[in-house]
Amino acid sequence: MTGASVVGAVVPAAGLGVRLGPGAPKALRGLAGEPLLVHAVRGLRACSQIGTLVVAAPAPDVEDVSRLLAAYDVLVVAGGPQRQDSVRLALAALPEEVDLVLVHDAARCLVPPSVVEAVVEALHAGAAGVVPVLPVSDTVKQVDGTRVVGTLDRAVLRAVQTPQGFRREVLERAHAASCSGATDDAWLVEALGEVVRTVPGDDEAFKITRPLDLVLAEAVLALRVPLEGRHGR
């Protein structure tokens, strides 16, 4: 790649959080006194290389979310019915000069800056797509109903997190081609035949999906605060 690359990020945050149980859309639920989305955006802003940041919010909440994130210099757009729609809508709002894009789930609101930086670095090194990964600690079975039909070799499996990073042109092509059932952006890029590389993920980049995840997130933050306080002195 020639010339300086311009990095932007999109944050799909328009989901309802059905698995979290009744309440506000997931990105707007409270965690240590602030909405999840504020934690997520702050985490991305810790990486100084990210310029434009676009958040896809639930359509009825766009104005509230803009106010909520006023201090973080973000653009807020309405998301769509599926995550893929929200990513596509947010991507379309990125300025033309952005050529490297991170896609980061608001639900992975405690991602450490080191993971964000590792993804950006791998993009600068020329990767078309980058995903942070962790080894799989459970044994994973293939089933047919209640019958086990196979066991996957977990040594070659990885659990995938966000932010995922892409050359913008590749990600836009992937979303234009789309494929139903894809559960992440890298899947769409892989379907094009583009190479996706891995970088080490982090336990703290876990996704808040079920109520127990919120308990874990509160605990992680409770441990972080005294540490940050110490650094500040």
Q: What is the DSSP string of the chain?
A: --S---EEEEEE-----GGG-SSS-GGGSEETTEEHHHHHHHHHHTSTTEEEEEEEE-GGGHHHHHHHTGGG--EEEE--SSHHHHHHHHHHTS-TT--EEEE--TT-TT--HHHHHHHHHHHHTT-SEEEEEEE--S--EEEETTEEEEE--GGG-EEE-S-EEEEHHHHHHHHHH--TT--SHHHHHHHTT--EEEEE--GGG----SHHHHHHHHHHHHHHHHHHHHHH-
Binding test (CB under 6 A) with ligand CTP, winner from 49, 82, 114, 198:
82
Binding residues with Mg ion: total (CB under 5 A): 1
Residues 6-45, interacting with Mg ion (CB under 5 A): 15
Residues 121-160, interacting with ligand CTP (CB under 6 A): none
Residues 17-76, interacting with ligand CTP (CB under 6 A): 17-19, 26-27, 56
82's contact among ligand CTP, Mg ion, none, with CB below 5 to 8 A by partner kind, is: ligand CTP
Interface with ligand CTP by CB under 6 A: which range of 63-71, 101-109, 138-146, 224-232?
101-109
13's contact among ligand CTP, Mg ion, none, with CB below 5 to 8 A by partner kind, is: ligand CTP
Binding test (CB under 6 A) with ligand CTP, winner from 8, 9, 12, 129:
12
> What are the backbone dihedrals phi and psi of residue 188, each rounded to the nearest 5 degrees, phi first?
-65, -40
18's contact among ligand CTP, Mg ion, none, with CB below 5 to 8 A by partner kind, is: ligand CTP
27's contact among Mg ion, ligand CTP, none, with CB below 5 to 8 A by partner kind, is: ligand CTP
- Is residue 83 involved in binding ligand CTP (CB under 6 A)? yes
- What residues make contact with ligand CTP under the rule CB under 6 A? 12-19, 26-27, 56, 79-83, 86, 105-107, 207, 209
